[in-house]
Amino acid sequence: MQILIDTQILIWFQLNHPNLRATALELITDSKHTIYVSDISLYEITIKQTISKLPDFNVDITDIITVGKEDGFNFIPLSHETIAEYAQVPLHENHRDPFDRMIIATAKAHDLAILSTDEKFEGYQHYVPIIRT
């Protein structure tokens, strides 16, 4: 399976955080699966670190990329196709987070399932495959 992990999963994986459930960890580390990270997640982390919204995650972005590559993650750069797809992502009243919506657009544009712990992603199950742990 080809899986795009959301930003929270990326952070928890890099921290070996106890909130990362065993099922998610198994999916990420199983060599049968190809794991992707959107560059949008890197952008989100950088912004949130700059404005002190990630006080427990003070890892340099270049280290995140290096470790991600060592872990076998594939990074997806922002493309015109993904930006165009963003306009098609359903807009739900209770979920307007632009980073999440761009991750959803990335998954759709690249035909990937999304691994997330965020219950709001379930509202897009009809649009892209969602794996929620």
78 pLDDT more than 90: yes
The 8-class DSSP code of residue 112 comes to -
Pseudo-torsion of CA 5, 41, 69, 132, nearest 10°?
Answer: -10
Specify if 7 maps to a domain.
no
As a whole number, mean pLDDT of residues 96-111 equals: 97
133 pLDDT more than 90: no
H helix runs in 1-133, sequence order: 7-15, 22-29, 39-50, 61-70, 80-86, 98-110
Residue 121 lies in domain: 12-132
CATH number, domain containing residue 82:
3.40.50.1010
Neighbours of 20 (CB within 10 A): 19
Residue that the structure tokens 């998610």 belong to: 24
Specify if 107 maps to a domain.
yes
Specify if 2 maps to a domain.
no
Specify if 28 maps to a domain.
yes
pLDDT tens string 17-30? 999 999 999 999 99
Specify if 4 maps to a domain.
no
Q: How far apart are CA 7 and CA 42, in angstroms?
A: 8
What's the total number of domains in the chain?
Answer: 1
The confidence score (pLDDT) of residue 65 equals 97
